[in-house]
Structure 1
Amino acid sequence: MAKNYYEDGHTMDWHNSTGKDVVSGQPVTVGAITGVAQHDIPNGTHGVLMMTGVFVLPKVAAETWQRGARLWLTKDGHLTKEPKDGTDENPLAGTAWITTNPGETEGRVRLGY
């Protein structure tokens, strides 16, 4: 093993200082990337975020995208194909795992890629 290996990066230890409880399966923004809470993480406690894998998350219902499209996360936790919300950068979520259609409220995203 390489002597500079740190970890596989599939999970990240995270301290919830958002002021709100985070529920299992909820997307969480860490800097410019997105993870998903492995378990409920009450405010003020530590928990684990999953940083890889394919997850079903809420999407901007009016949007459609093709499998493999790059996706970002809006401030309210919805997948979008828009890298910016006005002048604000949206954090990277990953890539679309399947094609979506207008009116659908959920999408499948492969985190981090």
Structure 2
Amino acid sequence: MAKNYYQDGSTMDWKNGTTKDVVSGQPVVVGAIIGIAQHDIPVGVSGVLMMTGVFNLTKVTTETWQRGARLYLTADGNLTAQDKDGSNPNTFAGTSWITTNNGDTEGHVRLGF
């Protein structure tokens, strides 16, 4: 093992410094990336975010994506293929794991890739 190895990066410790409790499975923006809450994380409490894997999240229902499309998280927590919402940037989430269609309410995203 390399002497400067820290961890494999599949999880991140995170303190909920927001004004709302985070529920298990909820996407959380951390800087320019997102993680998924492993368990409920109340305000002011530390918890674990999952930083790798494929997750089923709500999506913008009017969009269609092919597998491998770059996906972003909107300010209201929905997956989108749009990197901006007007002049506001969306946070990079990962890539579409399956093809989705107009009218689908959820999509599968592989985090960070």
Question: Is TM-score (shorter-chain normalized) higher than 0.5?
Answer: yes
Aligned residue for 1:93?
Answer: 93
Deviates more, 1:86-95 or 1:12-21: 86-95
Could you tell me how far apart the structure 1 residues matched to 2:2 and 2:88 are? 38
Query: Which aligned pairs between 1:1-113 and structure 2 lie closer than 5 A?
Result: 1-113=1-113
Q: Which structure 2 residue ranges, 5 or more long, are not aligned? A: none
| Per-residue Cα deviation, 1:43-79 (whole angstroms, up to 9, x for no partner) | 1100000000000000000000000000000001000
- TM-score, with normalisation over the residues of structure 1? 0.98
Two-structure CA RMSD over aligned residues (Å): 0.6
Q: Which amino acid aligns with 2:46?
A: H
Q: Which runs of 5+ in 1 are unaligned?
A: none
| Corresponding residue pairs, total | 113
Please report how far the alpha carbon of residue 85 of structure 1 lies from its aligned counterpart in structure 2 after TM superposition: 1.1
TM-score calculated relative to the size of structure 2? 0.98
**SS of structure 2 residue aligned to 1:66:** coil
Q: Distance in 2 between matches of 1:17 and 1:66?
A: 35
Counterpart amino acid of residue 61 in structure 1: T
Identity of aligned residues (%): 73
Separation in structure 1 between the aligned mates of residue 89 and residue 7 of structure 2, nearest angstrom: 28
Q: Distance in 2 between matches of 1:3 and 1:85?
A: 43
**Structure 1 ranges of 4+ moved more than 6 A:** none
